[in-house]
Structure 1
Amino acid sequence: MAAPQVKSSSELTMAVLGCGTMGIAILSGILSSLTSLASSPSDPPTSPPALPRHFIATVRSSSSITKVESALSGLVKPNVSTLRVLQSTSNVSAVAEADIILLGCKPYMVSGLLSASGMKDALTVNHKEGHARSQKIIISICAGVTVPQLEQILREDVGVSADDLPIVVRAMPNTASKIRESMTVINTVEPPLPDSVTELLTWIFEQIGEVAFLPPSLMDACTSLCASGTAFFALMMEAAADGGVAMGIPRAEATKMAAQTMRGAAGLVLDGEHPAILREKVSTPGGCTIGGLLVLEDEGVRGAVAKAVREATVVASLLGSGQKNVNGTRH
């Protein structure tokens, strides 16, 4: 089978099936970036030669159509991008037209969505006039659904042959996609993706934050650290704010101070400062910081946070294997 390639056309079509909060965030980032690229045509190109410029979002209800259009229509610019929002009854036609298919539906809906009548032909043939037959890219952001599971559905339930199998990728953005501060982890595959596909995937998810490529064996740990981690850090932020409130700081100001302090610490680390060095720099001998840090160490905060990441990793793995009520039976 020939190595899969992204089409040479500079205008790809991307369909988002099940365009909820995450789908809206991803499309918002892409549409805004396309407008920026168009407004600076003289800048050196830093993006792939072929980018998604035409978008189809499918949703389940007319009220959802209104929601998506309200969120995104202002970002669509003439001669730069197009957007159509359709009901999910149009999934098959959307896939037929698309070069890139983003699965944003609930995990339990994946099999039924891909097994819809006519989906096999839609997935294996590019119907756009003037474009040669080409392998499509399926990007799943469905929690717990692995690449082998998706490929099995495509082969056994949809009936796609091995030669016609689309490129299947699993990506895991997080809640901060909404403000373009996501940490997206993309599942590497064997054999490796073509460079053109890797470049395209990187560009898509860099529009909502940072991107890392890691092997499938680490995806559950990444789910814990990047997705569940948002809640873990929120709890620590809330606890810090509570401490400030206990000492007389008004709630609103305490919350803002805690959030900004956490943002500042994160910014310093992302700028190259090691967390341990940062901690040492702030801890002057005999000062208040070292006193507070010793309380945190005495209370086992370091171990508790690390254990929470490990526990969430195990739970994610069990949920991904189909087990239910995992948290209620593990202890």
Structure 2
Amino acid sequence: MAAPPAAGALPASLTLVGAGKMGGAMLEGWLAAGLDPKRTTIVEADPSDALRALCTARGLALNPATVAPAAVLVLAIKPQGFADAAPGLDRMIGPGTVVMSILAGKTVADIEGRLPSARAIVRAMPNLPASIGRGATGAVANAAVTAGQRAAVAALLGANGLVEWVGSEAEIDAVTALSGSGPAYVFLMVEAMTEAGIAAGLDPQVAARLARATISGAGALLDASDLPASELRRNVTSPGGTTAAALDVLMRDDALGPLMREAVAAAKRRAGELAG
């Protein structure tokens, strides 16, 4: 279970570049955690009505004519727009600014090459459940990031869920493959369970509701428990019972484990290809 961000660790000032689905969701988590809206600037080329309303209600600066360097500059734009935006972004970086990037496929070297003023850089890979404060994010910092900057970034990411710091940037591709893409694996499991329920004779809507509630309930139980998943699985499985019969199929010849390893390896390989 993710620990809450340390009190007082949130940055004194922040500029968010890109407030679409992920950037906007993260922003709401930061504000809820105590980020000072009066010292928060939003740069968004196509602000939604909801974003405009949030900025007005909370006193956030939206697309000001000039953007002074902040303690943290968050890059959450579409990766394909980074090259064109870079000259303007570089002017938002001061000597004490840490750049936090969630740009998929853009390495620290890419950011350093496009933003000459950037010294301290954190590359992070959040996932979709960050939008409800239940994300799983992997992050890596370059050598220029100070302890204080790392704490500020950790507080920001922690406001949206679990944060795991990895030891090298090479591991970010594995994070992308496991947790970044992982919600889709779970959603596919719900689809497969629904189809299996229908095949077993259930009404399609009943099967869909049961499958959805089963996955979300199991996830909540996993989050609430300190037991490993393997032990929780054994607790549900009575010898010779219905669950054991089903698991005999899913675990036949260790079928599911190799399939998942192959899937994650494929996603990791593709992440490396996209990073160039």
- Scaled to the shorter chain, the TM-score interval is 0.7 to 0.9
C-alpha deviations, 1:110-159, integer Å up to 9, x for none?
Answer: 1221223xx555423xxxxxxxxx5111111100111122112223xxxx
Q: Alignment partner for residue 51 of structure 2, among 46, 68, 80?
A: 68
Corresponding residue SS for 1:185: strand
Q: Tell me the residue number matched to 1:239.
A: 192
Q: Tell me the residue number matched to 1:226.
A: 179
Q: Tell me the residue number matched to 1:199.
A: 151
Q: Tell me the residue number matched to 1:302.
A: 257
Instruction: Work out whether 1:123 is the aligned partner of 2:93.
Output: yes
Instruction: Work out whether 1:20 is the aligned partner of 2:20.
Output: yes
Instruction: Work out whether 1:57 is the aligned partner of 2:28.
Output: no
C-alpha change, 1:266 and 1:121, in structure 2 (3 Å) is: closer
Cα deviation for residue 10 of structure 1 reads: 8.6
Matched residues in 2 for 1:248 and 1:10: separation? 52
Q: Alignment partner for residue 135 of structure 1, among 59, 82, 96?
A: 96
Matched residues in 2 for 1:9 and 1:218: separation? 26
Instruction: Work out whether 1:316 is the aligned partner of 2:261.
Output: no
Is contact 1:147–1:168 with CA below 8 Å preserved after alignment?
Answer: yes
C-alpha deviations, 1:229-262, integer Å up to 9, x for none?
Answer: 1111110111112212223333333333223322
C-alpha change, 1:152 and 1:59, in structure 2 (3 Å) is: same
Cα deviation for residue 15 of structure 1 reads: 1.4
Matched residues in 1 for 2:56 and 2:245: separation? 51
Matched residues in 2 for 1:75 and 1:175: separation? 25
Q: Alignment partner for residue 100 of structure 1, among 72, 81, 92?
A: 72
Q: Tell me the residue number matched to 2:3.
A: none
Matched residues in 1 for 2:121 and 2:263: separation? 31
Is contact 1:14–1:101 with CA below 8 Å preserved after alignment?
Answer: yes
**What residue identity is the alignment partner of 1:206?**
G
Matched residues in 2 for 1:33 and 1:135: separation? 23
Q: Tell me the residue number matched to 1:84.
A: 61
Q: Tell me the residue number matched to 1:147.
A: 108
Matched residues in 2 for 1:167 and 1:255: separation? 47
C-alpha change, 1:149 and 1:250, in structure 2 (3 Å) is: same
Matched residues in 2 for 1:176 and 1:254: separation? 24
Cα deviation for residue 263 of structure 1 reads: 2.8
Is contact 1:22–1:178 with CA below 8 Å preserved after alignment?
Answer: yes
Instruction: Work out whether 1:189 is the aligned partner of 2:160.
Output: no
Superposition RMSD in Å: 2.5
Matched residues in 2 for 1:234 and 1:24: separation? 23
Is contact 1:16–1:23 with CA below 8 Å preserved after alignment?
Answer: yes
Q: If you compute each CA radius of gyration, which structure gives the higher value, 1 or 2?
A: 1
Matched residues in 1 for 2:30 and 2:195: separation? 38
Is contact 2:13–2:40 with CA below 8 Å preserved after alignment?
Answer: yes
C-alpha change, 1:10 and 1:308, in structure 2 (3 Å) is: closer
Question: How many pairs does the alignment contain?
Answer: 265
**What residue identity is the alignment partner of 1:302?**
G
**What residue identity is the alignment partner of 1:69?**
R
TM-score, normalising length: structure 1: 0.73
Cα deviation for residue 266 of structure 1 reads: 2.8
